[in-house]
A = this chain, B = another copy of it.
Amino acid sequence: MKLTLKDIAHSLGVSTATVSNAFSRPDQLSADLRERILGEAKRLGYRGPNATARSLRSGKTGTIALVLTERLQYNFEDPVATRFLHGVSEIFDQQNINMLLLPSRAEFYRNNTVDSLADGFVIYGPPRDSSVLERIVVRGKPTITVDFNLPEVRSLNIDNFHGARDAARHGLKAIENGPLAVLALRVLTESEVVGRIQDDDVLASPYESVSRRRLDGYRAALEETKRSLDNEWVWNVPESRYEYGYQAAREALMSNPRPKLLLCMSDRLALGAIAAAQDLGLNIPQDLKVIGFDDIATAAYQRPALTTVHQPQNEKGRQAAKMVLGLSEYTKDVLLEAKLIVRDSC
């Protein structure tokens, strides 16, 4: 048996409008009548206004959608993404907001008009297929992009350039003039394999990507010491995974001259790299120095503890949530600091 506002109204001899007000706008009716209505509703087992009907009429859903990676799965795997969601959910918890998780793969949106399902959107990272953005970025609904930019849309980023530059500076000082290699994350747009960047590879990506900024940061530090970064010493890695870090580092460490420093664009890559180095019998930091990026939890736990660039993922999540809810103290684009944390690996 399905109960509606009408049933309550009927049973009490009042109008549906009044019952609606009793639930949604308490100030619109006498406390007394409201009491009676709520009591009757409870007695009959009515649980409150139907959410879909309410949204259809009011245009509000009480839900914020997070547009994540191609496949949702990834977000429960990668500690960086998970930490971001942790921050977001802290604010949603406080504000009683429903959290809708959406993948960014285009196919998902073919039969799915999600823009009506949420009051706002947080787009975490650039979708591979940018047509998704056209379906989502609807005028009128608050939308913010995280880790990339879109014209006309507020963005939240961390300062990848300076974080990377500081990391590289620190590393370069430690190895002086020794050789180095970079494990770069998705710096080639379409490549799905681990490998050196070839001279003729194109480094451009459709958005000013996180990786690109980090690479530029590394470069800037090298230039300060009159060095430059040869593409040959940059490994492209398609995803932030331990195994890829292992593989790329192994290739790099078996090259001649053997790098004394590995600049890694994520901690997971760095952890894989350390394992590869250890398996080759190298000591860290004596034989090889490794610097990561992200500062995931294990970076501090593991031995040797990882020197890395801390990015405030938790705070980033909180900021993203506040921005989309209009609760942020900032009114424009936000750039959070990324700070070098020196531990044992360099």
Q: Which residues of A are interface residues toward B (Cβ below 8 A)?
A: 23, 47-56, 61-63, 71-73, 75-77, 82-83, 85-86, 89-90, 92-93, 96, 98-103, 107-108, 111-117, 135, 298
A47 x B82 contact (CB < 8 A): no
Chain B hits for A107, CB < 8 A: 96
| A73 and B98 contact, CB distance less than 8 A | no
* 20 A-B pairs in the complex with CB atoms less than 8 angstroms apart: A47-B115, A48-B113, A50-B113, A52-B117, A71-B93, A72-B89, A72-B99, A73-B86, A73-B90, A75-B89, A76-B86, A77-B86, A82-B82, A93-B103, A96-B111, A98-B100, A98-B101, A98-B112, A98-B114, A101-B101
Contacts A52-B117, A76-B89 known; 16 new A-B pairs at CB < 8 A:
A47-B135, A49-B113, A50-B113, A51-B114, A52-B56, A62-B112, A63-B100, A63-B117, A72-B92, A72-B93, A76-B85, A96-B107, A96-B112, A98-B101, A98-B112, A100-B100
- With A56-B53, A72-B93 as known contacts, state yes or no: A48 contacts B100, CB within 8 Å: no
Q: How far is the CA of A80 from the CA of B107 in the complex (A)?
A: 30
Query: Shortest beta-carbon distance, A343 to chain B, in Å?
Result: 18
Interface of A is mostly: helix
CB proximity of A200 to chain B, nearest CB, Å? 35
Closest Cβ of chain B: how far from A299's Cβ, in Å? 13
Bound complex: CA A99 to CA B55 (Å): 18
Q: Are A98 and B89 in contact (CB under 8 A)?
A: no
Q: Can you name the residue of chain B whose Cβ is closest to the Cβ of A103?
A: B93
Would you call B100 and A99 a contact (CB within 8 A)? Answer: yes
Q: How far is the CA of A47 from the CA of B76 in the complex (A)?
A: 30
Name the residue of chain B whose CB is nearest to the CB of A2.
B140
Q: Is the CB of A52 within 8 A of B96?
A: no
Residue of B nearest to A140 (CB): B2
Query: Does the CB pair A117–B82 fall under 8 Å?
Result: no
A172 to chain B, nearest CB (A): 31
Q: Which residues of B contact A117 (CB under 8 A)?
A: 51-52, 63, 98
Answer whether A116 and B52 are a contact pair too, CB < 8 Å, given A96-B108, A98-B100, A135-B47. Answer: yes
Q: Is the CB of B72 within 8 A of A113?
A: no
- Most chain-B CB neighbours within 10 Å: which of A48, A53, A62, A108? A48
Which of A23, A83, A92 is packed against the most chain B CB atoms within 10 Å? A92
User: Please, which residues of chain B bring their CB within 8 A of the CB of A108?
Assistant: 96
Which residues of B lie under 8 Å from residue A92 when comparing CB positions?
Answer: 72
Residue among A61, A71, A112 having the largest count of chain B Cβ atoms under 10 Å: A112
Residues of chain B within 8 A of A73, CB atoms compared: 86, 89-90, 93
Shortest distance from the beta carbon of A83 to any chain B beta carbon, whole Å:
7
Do B99 and A47 touch (CB < 8 A)?
A: no
A101 and B102 contact, CB distance less than 8 A: no
Q: Which residues of B contact A23 (CB under 8 A)?
A: 111
What residues of chain B lie closer than 8 Å to A114, measured between beta carbons? 51, 98
When the two chains form their complex, are residues B113 and A47 in contact, meaning their CB atoms are under 8 A apart? yes
CB distance from A141 to the nearest CB of B (A): 12
How many angstroms between the C-alpha atoms of A93 and B116 in the bound complex? Answer: 20
